[in-house]
A and B are shown apart, each in its own frame.
Chain A
Amino acid sequence: MLSPKGDKYIENILSYVKFSFDRYAIKTELESHLLDKIEDYTKAGQGEDAEQLAITDMGDAEEIGLELNKQHHPLVGWLWMITRLAVVLLVIVDLFFVGLPIGMSLFDNNPLKDIAKANIVYNIAVNKTVQLDDRVINFRNVVYERNGNLNIIYDYYEARFWGARWSLGSIGIISDNLGNKYFAGSGGGGGGIRPICRRTVENFSNEADTVIIDYDQYNRKYRVEIPLKGGAKNE
């Protein structure tokens, strides 16, 4: 604990430091430094003169204050504060607009889990990938259900890092090797960076041994043929 004289000496130094946000840290450091010196002089037997000697050792308050003001220049101080605040704010913004969609993708529900196991006749792991422009579509599973529903599970993502990411509207027309085309059914999936989706067609022929996915829109084409009889029965 400093005496009023020591406090006044430090306050005098601080009066030259214009960047007020640094004053507390400087004050703490100066106090600690001064107390160390006082302790040294006290141990050396200087007693009552210890504080004055310590202050004399420290030097002229104006000189120290001006030097500290140079080191803690207000312009540099403000720039440091503003850039730090900007980084913190932008981290929050990025977490919300970038991190959240990525997080949603990581925890996106796999629609395969929504199909009751008891209803599955077979489930084929497909792992076929096609690419349209920058859009990569990965066909993961084909699941045939007892009620005749055929489910195609797929995910997709943009190979390009930058830019617009519209949802994939359609994976194409579903048909089988017998020539049947299937339009009735449903489709859907989550959002985010790499959504997992499910396209279901109803009344799929149990005689068919291949499901065919034909995409032909706006001069983009692919055709994926998935053999059906390799699936494990009653998984």
Chain B
Amino acid sequence: MSRSQKIVRNLVIFLGLCLLFITQTALYLTPLSAHEHSERSLLYGPSEVVHVEDFDEGKYILAKYDRWYSCNSVERTLGLFWRSGGGSIGTENDKTKAVAFSWSASYEHCVAYGIINDDRVKRIELTLSNGQVLTQTKFYDRMFLILWTDKNNNNYFEKLIGYDASDKVIFESELP
């Protein structure tokens, strides 16, 4: 076998090994395929993606599936690929509440998300334990997503309030 043939053989083996690594370690070329495969492995979905938002390590994917809502995360890895982050599945939308929501934290990255069941709610206000207030008025198909970081472990979820257009409190909850 000539050296050129050996190079071709090595390249074929290399590509095969790359493929094995990529497929078996669940790496994907797009964030949405990482999200979709993650959901399928978790026996959930396929959900309808409502909004995708960047954070420094990847993306949060806000989605709905039947009577559940979810916020999955996908992370960039090895420069080129995407992989599933937290493996989040859905929370059932409690339609008796004006706002159904959940929150989660992974290391310093925190996220509160939910779905608005009462159309009067025009503004969501999230209060953190250090007094910081985060507000969202732009919703995505009646869903909201609020991100924050908690580097010192003292900045966690405290209260969520939903206001109507005249700043009247429609919904208030300290716990999801």
Q: Is the CB of A166 within 8 A of B87?
A: yes
Residues of B within 8 A of A93 (CB): 17, 21
Residues of B within 8 A of A84 (CB): 6, 10
Q: Is the CB of A135 within 8 A of B37?
A: no
Q: Is the CB of A83 within 8 A of B41?
A: no
Task: Say whether B11 faces chain A, with CB atoms less than 8 Å apart.
Answer: yes
Task: Say whether B103 faces chain A, with CB atoms less than 8 Å apart.
Answer: no
Q: Mark B1-42, 1 if CB is under 8 A from A, else 0.
A: 001101100110110011011011110100000100110111
Minimum CB–CB distance from A136 to chain B (whole Å) comes to: 12
A93 to B11, CA, bound (A): 16
Q: Is the CB of B43 within 8 A of A217?
A: yes
Task: Say whether B89 faces chain A, with CB atoms less than 8 Å apart.
Answer: yes
A97 and B21 in contact (CB under 8 A), knowing A83-B11, A87-B10, A218-B43?
A: yes
Minimum CB–CB distance from A173 to chain B (whole Å) comes to: 15
Residues of B near any A CB (own CB < 8 A): 3-4, 6-7, 10-11, 13-14, 17-18, 20-21, 23-26, 28, 34, 37-38, 40-45, 65-66, 68, 83-84, 87, 89-90
Minimum CB–CB distance from B59 to chain A (whole Å) comes to: 16
* Interchain residue pairs with CB less than 8 A apart (5): A76-B3, A83-B7, A86-B14, A164-B40, A165-B41
Given A80-B3, A134-B40, 13 extra CB contacts under 8 A: A76-B3, A76-B4, A86-B14, A87-B10, A93-B21, A133-B40, A135-B41, A163-B26, A163-B28, A164-B40, A164-B83, A164-B84, A219-B66
Task: Say whether A132 faces chain B, with CB atoms less than 8 Å apart.
Answer: yes
Residues of A within 8 A of B13 (CB): 87
Task: Say whether A31 faces chain B, with CB atoms less than 8 Å apart.
Answer: no
Minimum CB–CB distance from A7 to chain B (whole Å) comes to: 27
Q: Mark A177-214, 1 if CB is under 8 A from B, else 0.
A: 00000000000000000000000000000000000000
Q: Mark A214-235, 1 if CB is under 8 A from B, else 0.
A: 0001111000000000000000
Dominant SS among interface residues on chain B: helix
Q: Is the CB of A218 within 8 A of B7?
A: no
Q: Is the CB of B90 within 8 A of A98?
A: no
Task: Say whether A60 faces chain B, with CB atoms less than 8 Å apart.
Answer: no
A218 to B45, CA, bound (A): 7
Q: Is the CB of B21 within 8 A of A90?
A: yes
A164 and B17 in contact (CB under 8 A), knowing A83-B10, A86-B10, A218-B65?
A: no
A77 and B23 in contact (CB under 8 A), knowing A86-B10, A164-B84?
A: no
A158 to B37, CA, bound (A): 12
Residues of B within 8 A of A24 (CB): none
Q: Mark A52-75, 1 if CB is under 8 A from B, else 0.
A: 000000000000000000001000
Minimum CB–CB distance from B8 to chain A (whole Å) comes to: 9
Q: From A220, which residue of chain B is reached at the shortest CB distance?
A: B43
Q: Is the CB of B21 within 8 A of A98?
A: yes
- Closest 7 A/B residue pairs (Cβ): A83-B10, A162-B23, A90-B17, A164-B41, A163-B37, A164-B26, A98-B24
B7's partner among A79, A98, A158, A166 (CB-CB below 8 A) is: A79
Residues of B within 8 A of A91 (CB): 17
Q: Mark A136-179, 1 if CB is under 8 A from B, else 0.
A: 00000000000000000000001001111110010000000000
A218's partner among B4, B20, B37, B90 (CB-CB below 8 A) is: B90
Residues of B within 8 A of A135 (CB): 41, 43
Residues of B within 8 A of A217 (CB): 43
Minimum CB–CB distance from B39 to chain A (whole Å) comes to: 9
A91 to B37, CA, bound (A): 26
A162 to B23, CA, bound (A): 5
Residues of A within 8 A of B40 (CB): 133-134, 163-164
A94's partner among B6, B20, B44, B68 (CB-CB below 8 A) is: B20
Q: Is the CB of B65 within 8 A of A90?
A: no
